[in-house]
A and B are shown apart, each in its own frame.
Chain A
Amino acid sequence: MSLLEVSGLGVAFGGLAALKNVSFSLEDHEIVGLIGPNGAGKTTLFNCLSGFQAPDQGTMRFRGEPMERRAPYEIAARGLARTFQTSRVFKRMTVLEHVLVGLHRHQRAGFWAAVARPRWVADEERTARARGIALLGLFEDRLLPRLDDFADSLSYANRRRLEIARALATEPTLLLLDEPTAGMNPHESAGIVRLIQAIRDRGITVFLIEHDMKVIMNASDRIVVLDHGEKIAEGRPEEIRRNPDVVSAYMGHRGARA
């Protein structure tokens, strides 16, 4: 059984087919790139997988369980986490609080426990903090020294790192990253590639939208290519690089005006 099996997925916005009959699967412990020209449907696919967009057709099975009608928090609770294309940090929360929000589903204290504060609540909170701090250690020394800083005081690159940290804190088995290196310089992008590999080495499958071809080619074990909502290719990076359909999707057809 694959980790994620997508079959015949279709989404239409009015008359516009954003996704048409998309099928693919993701296995354990791999890094898969998702590429395609602007408007190819990459983010729509992510929105479907994470429950923010209900598909019109097709099925999505995550660890064998159907996900088409699940709410985003239920999908996240089952181990499928995501980041967003644009920065969505909690501006007036601290770095540590972000990862604690991600760890929410691994804690139990509800209203009554919060008010009564039995001993296990304090223990649970202490454990969560320790786990959060350990997790932030993955990000070199970018986030750890800023534990109590508000997210809106962070640099752009650190905000993006923080969003990845928050998603990782949910302890997913599949992590969807939507353009994690957008707006980063080559040095920072290289750091993200190392981070993605470190995430994979922790046993997490990474599904990655990226425009930076250097990042995609370096990081991915496999690549899925979308164009106009359809999957036009799938394969190893070197195969994709030479695939004529992919080249023409990106460059236009030979002879046609760009």
Chain B
Amino acid sequence: MALHAFVPRRENRLLWGGALGVALLLPLALRSEYLLSIAVQAGIYVILASSLNVTNGYTGLFSFGHAAFYGIGAYTAAILATRLGWSFTLTLPAAGLVAGLIGAALALITLRLSGIFLALVTIGFQEITFLVTLNWIGLTRGPMGIPGVPPPALGGFELRGNIGFYYLILALDVLTLFVLARVVTSRVGRAFVAIREDELAAQASGLPTFKLKVLAFVIATFFAGLAGAFFAHHARFVSADSFRLDETFVILTMLIVGGLGSFLGPIIGAVALVVLPEISRFLAEYRGVVYGLVLIAVILFRPEGVAGVPGIIQPRGLLARPAPPAEDLAP
């Protein structure tokens, strides 16, 4: 089970079939543009958190640069659409490819590092990307951002209302989750987890760990790029402020609350942390307090996240708990 728990596979078809059915019928219940826009937000974050899970969860590479790749995807799509008149069907894969390529380049340079060093370099990359976006006015229009990104059009039919965007992001979610499910349940996904668990032992078992880590990075950044393209065509305006380090932390929080290294975790985390601030809106200024309390409660009572892999986060100090008993200590 383990690796395959709750992954969309044959033995879980009821769960995922049911979830897809609910998602397809949801607009019947959400009869306002506002509620639909929240659902669209959740859909974007499902892609972002699930893709970040490939590196940070499955492979154990702590990257803090996800929002930068999300932004690279958004800017790629916005620039191609506004300057070259590309349609969404072209800007979407292009955004994924550009983000994936830059992800590969960053990975080739930095993946000799691991742990906290990798985390710091990716934070650096995140900030550099922000500064470049802000200052390369010829390409990005700098602080003015890029307005007027056209909405996606399919055969002369322009997507305007959120109901169309809802089904579009749902399709992208299904695509993303399908690809990720197949990857994590394959030989490649098994190798990712082996690297997370013990990189030295993985090498000794014949895994080309460097290549595999680069692959994990490319998969994660590619999908962040896709999410960025959707964002650009949905918001119709991109600016550097949307893709800063705090955005990385939003995505990372969703992943950690949902559960690092589990398939279901980031989906739960993304939906919950988009919906929670909205349903607690009546609390006015206490909203942030509730959000914080929920985070603290998860960390205290389920450090591995709502649906996480038990033991993936090992609390120390005051939060430490005794190790579970092993099978048989006696011979």
Residue numbers of A with Cβ under 8 A of B are 50, 52, 71-73, 76-77, 81-82, 84, 88-94, 97, 100-102, 104-105, 107, 109-111, 113-115, 117, 121, 125, 146, 148-150, 152-158, 163, 166-167, 169-170, 185, 187-188
Q: How far, in Å, is B75 (CB) from chain A's closest CB?
A: 26
Which residues of B from 308 to 331 have beta carbons under 8 Å from A? 309-312, 324, 326-329, 331
CA distance A78 to B66 in the complex (A): 37
A153 x B327 contact (CB < 8 A):
yes
With both chains docked as a complex, state the minimum distance between the C-beta of B329 and any C-beta of chain A, in angstroms.
6
Most chain A C-beta atoms within 10 Å of own C-beta, residue among B3, B185, B189, B206: B206
Residue of B nearest to A116 (CB): B182
Contacts of B203 in A (CB 8 A): 52, 71-73, 76
Q: Is the CB of A101 within 8 A of B205?
A: yes
In the A-B complex, the 10 residue pairs with the smallest Cβ-Cβ separation, listed nearest first, are A114-B186, A90-B197, A76-B206, A88-B201, A72-B203, A105-B206, A101-B194, A155-B328, A115-B182, A170-B206
Contact A73 B206 (CB under 8 A): yes
* Interface membership of B190, Cβ < 8 A: yes
A93 and B2 contact, CB distance less than 8 A: yes
A residues near B193, Cβ cutoff 8 Å: 90, 92-93, 97
B209 at the interface (CB under 8 A from A): yes
The one of A77, A101, A157 that contacts B191, using a Cβ cutoff of 8 Å: A101
Pick the contact of A90: B185, B187, B194 (CB < 8 A): B194
Compute how far the CA of A50 lies from the CA of B197 in the bound complex, rounded to whole angstroms.
20
Query: Given the interface contacts A76-B205, A81-B204, A153-B326, does A92 sit within 8 Å of B309 by beta carbon?
Result: yes
* Complex alpha-carbon distance, A149 and B1, angstroms: 9
Give the docked Cα–Cα distance between A155 and B2 (Å).
Answer: 19
Residue in chain B with minimal CB distance to A117: B182
Q: How far is the CA of A77 from the CA of B211 in the complex (A)?
A: 15
From known contacts A91-B311, A104-B191, infer whether A188 and B182 are also in contact, taking CB-CB under 8 Å.
no
Which of A90, A107, A111, A157 touches B198 (beta carbons < 8 Å)? Answer: A90
Q: Which of B3, B202, B204, B328 contacts A84 (CB under 8 A)?
A: B204
Number of A-B contacts (CB under 8 A): 134
Given B185, B200, B310, B327, which contacts A154 in the complex, CB threshold below 8 Å? B327
Indicate if B179 sits at the interface (CB-CB under 8 A): yes
Question: Do B204 and A50 touch (CB < 8 A)?
Answer: yes
Residue numbers in A under 8 Å from B310 (CB-CB): 92
Quote the shortest CB–CB distance from A184 to chain B (angstroms). Answer: 8
* A157 to B329 Cα, complex, angstroms: 9
Chain B residues in 8 Å Cβ range of A100: 187, 190
A169 and B207 alpha carbons, distance in the complex (Å) = 12
Known A92-B2, A111-B183, A114-B183: A84·B201 in contact at CB below 8 Å: yes
A214 and B329 alpha carbons, distance in the complex (Å): 24
The answer on a CB contact under 8 Å between B204 and A167 is yes
Q: How far is the CA of A19 from the CA of B275 in the complex (A)?
A: 62
A36 to chain B, nearest CB (A): 22
- Given known pairs A153-B324, A153-B326, the reply for A102 and B183 (CB within 8 Å) is no
Asked if B272 is an interface residue, CB under 8 A from chain A, the answer is no
Chain B residues near A166: list those with CB within 8 A: 201, 205
A247 CB → nearest B CB, Å: 33
Find out whether the CB atom of B187 lies under 8 angstroms from the CB atom of A155. Answer: no
Which A residues are CB-close (under 8 A) to B1? 94, 148
B179: nearest chain-A partner, CB-CB: A115
B198 and A88 within 8 A (CB): yes
Shortest C-beta distance, B80 to chain A (Å), equals 25
Docked-complex contact B201 and A110, CB < 8 angstroms: no
B198–A89 CB distance below 8 A:
yes
Q: Do B190 and A150 touch (CB < 8 A)?
A: no
Provide the bound-state CA to CA distance between A107 and B208, in Å.
13
Q: Please measure, in the bound complex, the distance between the C-alpha atom of A141 and the C-alpha atom of B191, giving whole angstroms.
A: 27
18 more contacts with CB within 8 A, not counting A52-B203, A73-B206, A76-B204, are A72-B204, A76-B203, A76-B206, A77-B206, A84-B201, A88-B201, A91-B311, A92-B311, A93-B2, A101-B194, A104-B190, A104-B191, A111-B183, A115-B182, A121-B186, A148-B2, A156-B329, A169-B205
- Complex Cα gap A104–B197 (Å): 16
Q: How far apart sit A216 and B200, CA to CA, in the bound complex (Å)? A: 27
Q: Are B204 and A155 within 8 A (Cβ)?
A: no
CA distance A158 to B309 in the complex (A): 22
| A154 contacts across to B, CB distance below 8 A | 326-327
Nearest to B326 among chain A residues (CB) is A155
Distance between B317 CB and nearest chain A CB, rounded to angstroms = 21
